[in-house]
Structure 1
Amino acid sequence: MSEHLDFTHETRPVRVVFRAGAATGAIAEEAALLGLRRLLVVCGARGAASARAVADALGPACVGLHDGARQHVPVDAADRAVAAAREAGADGCVAVGGGSAIGLGKAVALRTGLPLIAVPSTYSGSETTAVWGLTENGVKRTGQDPVVQPRVILYDPALTYPLPVPLSVTSGINAVAHAAEALYAPDRSPLIALMAEEGVRAMAAALPELAADPGSPEARGRALYAAWLCGSCLGATTMGLHHKLCHVLGGTFGLPHAETHTVVLPYALAHNARAAPDALAALDRALGTDDTPRRLRELSGRLGAPTSLAELGLKESDLATAAERTAALSFPNPREVTEAGVLALLRAAHAGERPTGR
């Protein structure tokens, strides 16, 4: 980072509790420390059991459980959650689950101003950011607002046990994407660079162990630790081509979030490689390779994750639309974003070709 010692770094006030049993053992105390007495717990259908355990641990401080979280946070789902919070007279919100649940909690916070507590069960990293997202009429809008930043994050590795290995892998690679783009973000700092490299290193080591032994508390814990580091990088920097392209693919075509990030990341990094040599060098160090895009694609495939957009159901006829919509957005990226460049990236990712760029 010697070439980049002109930077600004802002740290937002967030309390992080990382330990086994934190989801149920610490939630009541943390809510009380915030002065909250009427909490609405939100989750998705898949995470309802964990959310119910958290709600039970809150006891009388829980005024309801709303299980309406859906991928990419559709506006109608957000409307229903906001209405539930208001009807219950909630003074705070607890989001339990993956990115969809955390995203729904953020939507409630955005519309109501209620403080948010996040209890993540995947490696998405959404809990570490002030970024919100809403999807309406096939378009996913994102923004940043301090009000959606969770005041407390409870990391409990046990909550990730129900996450199947394939989803654990794609969620983990999704986390790697946060750190990877932070390394070439215009607002990166030396601290973020250190966190990003360590986060990628930790996740790449944890995922094969997790796949071999899904019940390993050590592997689950290291993956969650890596997700925290990687997500913190995302929360402190500005997203580039990879994230914006994945938002278009998810919001417009309904592609699954983590799987899309997993497929696209090697190709986005290959696309940006020549314009961001220091970032790729850091990723090479973290992964013990001289070709990060190829290494990430091989890691995903070896662990059973999808390696092409075709596998996710994207049609070849949709590629031009996706490229056009992505190129029309305004965002920083180390390499100039053109419709032709994005289309070439998408064609390679759709076919699952070997990613090339250096």
Structure 2
Amino acid sequence: MDAFEYISASHRVVFGSGTLRELPSMLQKINATSVLILCTPQQVSTGEEVQKLLGDAGVAIFTEATMHTPTHITEKALLVAKEKGVDGIVSVGGGSTVGLGKAMSIRTGLPHLCIPTTYAGSEMTPILGETENGRKVTRRDPKILPTAVLYDVDLFKTLPTGLTVYSGINAIAHAVEALYASNRNPIIELLAVEGVRVLCESLPVLQAEGQDSAEARQQALYGAWLCGMCLGSVDMALHHKLCHTLGGLFNLPHAETHVILLPHALSYNAPATPAAMAKLAAAIPGSEGDAVQGINRLYKKLGINISLGGLGMPEKGVDEACDIALANPYKNPRPLEREGIRELIRRAWAGEQAIQDL
């Protein structure tokens, strides 16, 4: 067994069905008595539900959370928090809302309680990606990790099928990179394999039946939690760096970008990570020992057939994205080679199937 270091981040997590009713007591445990509730314009009703549950402690709702956490939105929310004199933050939603809560918390020191409504897993990571002038910059700091997380499976009953699938695949990407991270360890590998397994089993059920299967919802959320813990504990590699580059540069939707790039980044790194690929393949039903083909088959089962070009990325952006990716060195199991990285991005732009020949 390789030598390793494992550092555990401690924060409170509540998981179950109907757990939203525990929100007032959770605020007491993080010493928050008056909070600003964060959400996107699409989730105002959920934000209002939370505010009603909190009563006087829910001082105000900020409804402008935006993907890629643009700094001007963060500054606007900070002004509201200062004006209202709050002593805590409650974020209700997916990665966009959680990101805003993280950005505010790291700037102010206010406790941050997350109520996730997608499977993305951002709530479990001490990672913050912020966008300014078209560039997304990512940083990691233990203080970015939310103070507490409340998972309520019931909040996922109305999650659209497309968002269910894309945010679930986004979660799988966290575990994939954890398996070949430079600072991986046996605990994280166990979490990663289990997270991938339950998501690969539950997402097809949710895609076929919507959110009617309470068991599949619970399994998917459990898997997303595990995968988020993986990303929060180890370094990111090629997949996440490309997603942040492309998302910030072309304002592409976060989850869909992760979905498109995952099999291509996996195929690029596969030759350098045979042990990780074997563990991943074992966790994907129907992979027949080939992790990349396992992901391809999962996509086919889920009806996923999208491209970066279809999301609005211009073809000329392939070279620009490649230049940026190569200009910022980071840890990756396989050295970053311009020809291979450019071809990876081109295939993702065109919506081609991933194959191991990069």
TM > 0.5: yes
What's the TM-score, normalizing by structure 2? 0.96
AA matched with 1:336: P
> What aligned pairs does 1:165-176 form with structure 2 within 5 A after superposition?
165-176=161-172
Confirm or deny: 8 A CA contact 2:305 2:351 kept in the other structure. no
Bigger mean CA deviation after superposition, 114-123 or 53-62 = 53-62
State which of 134, 139, 144 in structure 1 corresponds to 2:135.
Answer: 139
Which residue pairs with 2:111 in the alignment?
115
Which residue pairs with 1:302 in the alignment?
301
State which of 251, 260, 280 in structure 1 corresponds to 2:248.
Answer: 251
Q: Indicate whether 1:275 and 2:283 are aligned.
A: no
Bigger mean CA deviation after superposition, 168-177 or 44-53 = 44-53
Confirm or deny: 8 A CA contact 1:121 1:160 kept in the other structure. yes
> What do residues 217-262 of structure 1 show as CA deviations (whole Å, max 9, x unaligned)?
1111111100000000000000000000000110001111100100
Q: Indicate whether 1:234 and 2:234 are aligned.
A: no
CA distance in 2, matches of 1:199, 1:256: 23
Which residue pairs with 2:353 in the alignment?
354
Q: Is the partner of 2:194 in helix, strand or coil?
A: helix
Query: Could you tell me how far 1:63 is from its partner in structure 2?
Result: 1.1
Confirm or deny: 8 A CA contact 1:131 1:148 kept in the other structure. yes
CA distance in 2, matches of 1:85, 1:145: 22
Which residue pairs with 1:98 in the alignment?
94
Q: Is the partner of 1:284 in helix, strand or coil?
A: helix
Unmatched segments (≥5 aa) in structure 1: none
Confirm or deny: 8 A CA contact 2:129 2:244 kept in the other structure. no
AA matched with 1:17: V
AA matched with 2:163: L
Which residue pairs with 1:31 in the alignment?
27
| Distance change in 2, residues 1:306/1:313 (3 Å) | farther
CA distance in 1, matches of 2:118, 2:355: 30
Bigger mean CA deviation after superposition, 123-132 or 290-299 = 290-299
Confirm or deny: 8 A CA contact 1:323 1:340 kept in the other structure. no
Q: Indicate whether 1:186 and 2:182 are aligned.
A: yes
Q: Is the partner of 2:165 in helix, strand or coil?
A: helix
> What aligned pairs does 1:1-358 form with structure 2 within 5 A after superposition?
2=1, 4=2, 6-23=3-20, 25-214=21-210, 215-288=212-285, 289=287, 290-357=289-356
Query: Could you tell me how far 1:294 is from its partner in structure 2?
Result: 2.4
CA distance in 1, matches of 2:299, 2:80: 39
CA distance in 1, matches of 2:215, 2:45: 23
Query: Could you tell me how far 1:306 is from its partner in structure 2?
Result: 3.5
How large is the Cα RMSD of the aligned pairs? Answer: 1.2
Query: Could you tell me how far 1:331 is from its partner in structure 2?
Result: 1.1
Confirm or deny: 8 A CA contact 1:166 1:305 kept in the other structure. no
CA distance in 1, matches of 2:270, 2:31: 48
> What do residues 46-65 of structure 1 show as CA deviations (whole Å, max 9, x unaligned)?
12211211111111111111
Q: Is the partner of 1:71 in helix, strand or coil?
A: coil
Query: Could you tell me how far 1:349 is from its partner in structure 2?
Result: 1.7
AA matched with 2:63: D
Query: Could you tell me how far 1:71 is from its partner in structure 2?
Result: 0.6
Query: Could you tell me how far 1:44 is from its partner in structure 2?
Result: 0.6
CA distance in 1, matches of 2:305, 2:29: 43
> What do residues 318-353 of structure 1 show as CA deviations (whole Å, max 9, x unaligned)?
100011101111210000013222101112222222
Confirm or deny: 8 A CA contact 1:259 1:306 kept in the other structure. no
Confirm or deny: 8 A CA contact 1:20 1:156 kept in the other structure. yes
CA distance in 1, matches of 2:213, 2:41: 25
Report the identity percentage.
44
CA distance in 1, matches of 2:48, 2:164: 22
Number of aligned pairs? 354
Confirm or deny: 8 A CA contact 2:89 2:111 kept in the other structure. yes
Confirm or deny: 8 A CA contact 1:99 1:126 kept in the other structure. yes
What's the TM-score, normalizing by structure 1? 0.96
Unmatched segments (≥5 aa) in structure 2: none
> What do residues 301-331 of structure 1 show as CA deviations (whole Å, max 9, x unaligned)?
4323343222222222110001110111121
> What do residues 268-294 of structure 1 show as CA deviations (whole Å, max 9, x unaligned)?
000000101111111100003122222
CA distance in 1, matches of 2:308, 2:208: 26
AA matched with 1:32: Q
Q: Is the partner of 1:26 in helix, strand or coil?
A: helix
Query: Could you tell me how far 1:133 is from its partner in structure 2?
Result: 1.4
